[in-house]
Structure 1
Amino acid sequence: MKLMDELIDAYLDNNFEHPYYLDLHTGQVILDLDESYTGEPGIDWDDEENEERYIDIPKIDSNEAFYVMTKFAQRTESDPEDKLFDALGGNKPFRRFKDALDRLDIWEEWNRFENKYAEEAIQSWMDRFELDYNELSEKHNNNIPFS
């Protein structure tokens, strides 16, 4: 999997109990949970060097996710009856939005839109922290097990 795809997955993982970090030495995306959950040892935060080695990957919050769904509903031509807007206006808008995507059979269109938004957000984050994607991607590719 490409580094950007892993960063997007981490960004869109809406479980705030899943802390993701980017290893600046290897370019790997690390889910820092107990080893019993991931099968990998967690980050040793007692080691001071790790504070410089790992950077927290941002996550989309619910307000921003709602904004992205609204932007998609505004732009899609596959919903002439505004079922997506109706879903966003009721109770449990996230569940109803997903149900409407399913009924309209536009999941692929939604996934492309959401991933494009996430990629732009990740690129903005990388620019803000002056991270070189090409350099990190090369490190990432050189550290993929079984490649």
Structure 2
Amino acid sequence: MLRVKADLRELCDAFSINNEEIEHYLDVETGEIIMWMDPIVMGVLDEELEDELEEGFGERYFRIPKIESREAYQLMVEFTDTVTSSSLRDLLRAALNRHKPFREFKDVLYDFPEEREQWFKFERDAHRQHVLQWLELHHITLESL
């Protein structure tokens, strides 16, 4: 079991970034979260970082998973099913069936601040659970900072 002093909130933030050009790694020696950006897209190649990540991959550096679009969409569906107001639930379901469901979903919640906060908590809790499962899979235990 690896014991790592790292911030669970930062791990969850890294998990929530669904961008093909960005990867995050947990350094189990320092607890640092390292952000790697695709050099083709960014126009900058950090050979030292590339080499270090490659050499220590799976031993010192663990790639933090990121939420897939379909998983993020499913979270919105699950949250919608918990909404007690039938009118808001209908608005959210309609938003999820539009061309840009992520944007539409957030736009609907913008007008409902209490439910919007409930959504953020629901989403944070789901991300936290996923990250904790990932840590367990890799036999990593977080210690307090």
Q: TM-score, normalised by structure 2?
A: 0.80
Deviation at residue 43 of structure 1 after TM alignment? 5.9
SS at match of 1:133: strand
CA drift at 1:33: 3.1
Runs of 4+ in 1 over 6 A off after TM superposition: none
Indicate the residue corresponding to 1:46 in structure 2: 51
Structure in which a larger fraction of residues adopt strand: 2
Cα separation, 2, equivalents of 1:18 and 1:88: 26
Cα offsets for 1:42-92 (capped at 9, x unmatched):
863324642221100000010000000000000122x42121111001211
Using the TM superposition, give the Cα deviation of residue 27 of structure 1 relative to its aligned residue in structure 2, in angstroms. Answer: 0.7
Distance 1:67 1:130 in 2: 27
> 1:31 Cα deviation (Å)?
0.9
Question: Which ranges of structure 1 fall in alignment gaps of 5 or more residues?
Answer: 142-147
Q: How many residues align structurally? A: 130
Alignment of 1:88-99 (within 5 A): 88-99=96-107
* Higher RCO (C-alpha 8 Å, min separation 6): 2
Residue type at the aligned position of 2:119: W
CA distance in structure 2 between the partners assigned to 1:89 and 1:110 by the alignment = 18
Show the 5 A alignment for 1:55-94.
Answer: 55-77=62-84, 79-81=85-87, 82-94=90-102
1:103 is displaced (CA, Å) by 1.9
State the TM-score, normalized to the length of structure 1.
0.79
Deviations 1:13-61 (A, max 9, x none): 1222111000010111111238xx8xxx786332464222110000001
| Cα deviation 1:91-138 (Å, max 9, x = unaligned) | 11111001011122232111100000000000110111111122xxx4
Aligned 8 A contact 1:7 1:57 in 2: yes
What residue number does 2:3 align with? Answer: none
- Please provide the CA RMSD for this pair: 2.2
Query: Aligned residues: percent identity?
Result: 36
- Tell me the distance in 1 between the aligned counterparts of 2:117 and 2:34: 27
User: Distance between the aligned counterparts of 1:121 and 1:74, measured in 2?
Assistant: 20
